[in-house]
Amino acid sequence: MSKFNGNAITWFEVPTTDIGRAVDFYETVLDRKLTQFPGEEPCFMFPASEGSVAGALIHRPNHNPAVHGAMVYLNVDGELDNVLARAHKIEGTVQLPKTQIPGGYGFYACLIDSEGNHIGLHSR
């Protein structure tokens, strides 16, 4: 049985125009180190535990950052307030402040990253 069995998402990529700037942005906002993925294309992976859904910042000529379109929610469990405070201090624009999700599913917020992507944040 696949380790991804039951997950709607198995991998995600966040496009960048300046991957160095994007890495700095996410490492600062999330207060976590991204890992460079070996390969020909610039790619830095978000921290993820073994067997969980993972993703990366990528830089490809045909993939452009966008405010409109699919949106990724990053897990910032228990750290949403701190993440939003750090986003306010740097290039991040908070589009939607911390908002409670009805039904006991926690909280979410949305921001525009250094590249112009609309990114969601989720915390229980």
Question: Which pairing describes strands 107-112 and 118-123: parallel, antiparallel, or unpaired?
Answer: antiparallel
* Prediction pTM value: 0.89
Mean of pLDDT over the chain: 92
CA distance 30 to 90: 12
The residue behind tokens 């969601």 is: 120
What number of other Cβ atoms are within 10 A of residue 107's Cβ? 17
Q: Where are the domains of the chain?
A: 11-123
For the domain 11-123, what is the CATH code? Answer: 3.10.180.10
pLDDT at residue 3 above 70? no
Element (H, E) at 76: none
The pLDDT, as a whole number, for residue 4 is 56
Pick the more confident residue, 100 or 40. 100
pLDDT tens-digit series, residues 52-100: 899 999 999 999 999 998 899 999 999 999 999 999 999 779 999 999 9
Using CA atoms, how far residue 7 sits from 20, 52, 69, 95, 105, in Å, is 30, 9, 21, 27, 18
